[in-house]
Chain A
């Protein structure tokens, strides 16, 4: 039986692109869903997200039972979880984009605006950049991926990052622990590099 993969639709993700990329990476049973029960029963969960952190947090919290279902599936039952862009930022405890908003609180950190340390540095951080691995994180390979974001996760323990990139200084590119991983870059827009990452996520048995 093929796996049940839940791609969470909370009105804030580029769902079609992520769905297309998962399919290209070999996923078969992808359910695009806003239903907490489907997420709770899923074998694997993907949380996309583009736009503002606070807006995304409110939209996710606005789905009845969804935050609790994510906790049940990801924390209690250790289902493999992937957060992409704002979906990754939501894994952090706090966000300061457009006011302070609570995240899912799975990873100790804060989502803060990128600040241009040099006037020639452009924000948003937009384009292809390095994914430099820190230690030996699961699933990730070093390479170049597409980033598109104006806010980033600042980890309470910067040494806990899975990967970093550089935009006028180190920027968190990937975070995770146990059965969860979050990437600031867009695997669904990173051509071969991104699709092979998604393939590894689909095969992941943490």
Chain B
């Protein structure tokens, strides 16, 4: 068989607490990112993503401690993003136990940051995170949580980050994020078909069919979702079964491929 399509739950973390949280009954503290990470590890999520949406720099060290605690108890790959502005920020996250570090806004204003990180730590740990919206002429890069237009073409930016050494791209449609209407499949596919590195589809998942479409129609290598997992709408196992049912290779299922 071939490399499996990855299912990646994403936890938004602010000031050390999970912003959108599950209400798993077995959790003593559902707002603790580490507790949630353990649940996803036990459920055999293929990877985990922490996105730090903390506003202030002062609270950033909180995230390092969370990454350390998570890496001590979870033996799956961990991607951490949010607030990475320099190679030193990435280094601290990697030393704390992150396997990959996502860069977003800083790579819009200074794409060479991606090359610096790839040079120092290797492409395999550099994730180029792209927030895009559909505008008149195509998809445009937006920063600041989708509020600030940049005039930069998303496809060109994606190709540039890959050529600078990003080992993977996390592509989020800001039009779809939070809508539960499904991924922007045209955006995901346009980027996935034009870069040599893996692409993670993000933004808008509300159903299991959306995950399947992200791979089958969006050509994504991995599917990221937040609320359908956090609120217990669907389990990792259900997501895996849905992908397998569509003939997409996933872990633990031998009769597809």
Contacts and interface: CB of A to CB of B under 8 A. Distances in A.
A126 B167 contact: yes
Contacts of B111: none
B32 interface: no
Nearest to B196: A123
Contacts of B198: 122, 124, 126-127
Given A16-B71, A16-B96, A191-B76, A129 B4 contact: yes
A123 B197 contact: yes
A176 B65 CA distance: 37
Interface residues of A, number: 37
A166 B75 contact: no
Contacts of B76: 146, 189-191
Given A122-B198, A144-B251, A127 B124 contact: no
Contacts of A144: 4, 251-252
B124 A51 contact: yes
Interface of B is mostly: loop
Nearest to A20: B72
A127 B99 CA distance: 12
Contacts of B68: 16
A149 B77 CA distance: 13
B175 interface: no
Contacts of B121: 50-51
Contacts, number: 102
A126 B3 contact: yes
A122 B221 contact: yes
B63 interface: no
Interface residues of B, number: 37
B67 to A, nearest CB: 9
A75 interface: no
B75 A128 contact: no
A65 to B, nearest CB: 25
B245 interface: no
Contact of B97 (A20, A24, A52): A20
A67 interface: no
A21 B122 CA distance: 22
A52 B3 CA distance: 22
Contacts of B4: 127-129, 144
A127 B1 contact: no
A154 interface: no
A17 B71 CA distance: 6
Main secondary structure of the interface of A (DSSP, over half): mixed
A116 interface: yes
Contacts of A14: 94, 97, 99
B4 to A, nearest CB: 4
A147 B99 contact: no
A129 to B, nearest CB: 5
Contacts of A21: 75
A137 interface: no
Interface in A154-183: 166-168
Contacts of B123: 124, 150
Nearest to A126: B198
B142 to A, nearest CB: 25
A129 B97 CA distance: 22
Given A50-B121, A122-B199, A126-B168, 12 more contacts: A14-B99, A50-B124, A124-B198, A126-B3, A127-B221, A127-B222, A128-B3, A130-B1, A150-B124, A166-B1, A167-B2, A190-B76
Nearest 4 pairs of A and B residues by beta carbon: A51-B122, A122-B198, A128-B4, A127-B3
Interface of A: 14, 16-17, 20-21, 24, 50-52, 55, 116, 120, 122-130, 144, 146-150, 166-168, 186, 188-191, 194-195
26 contacts: A16-B68, A16-B96, A20-B73, A21-B75, A51-B125, A55-B122, A116-B196, A123-B196, A126-B124, A126-B168, A128-B3, A128-B46, A129-B4, A130-B1, A144-B4, A146-B76, A147-B3, A150-B123, A150-B124, A150-B167, A186-B77, A189-B75, A190-B76, A191-B41, A191-B75, A194-B75
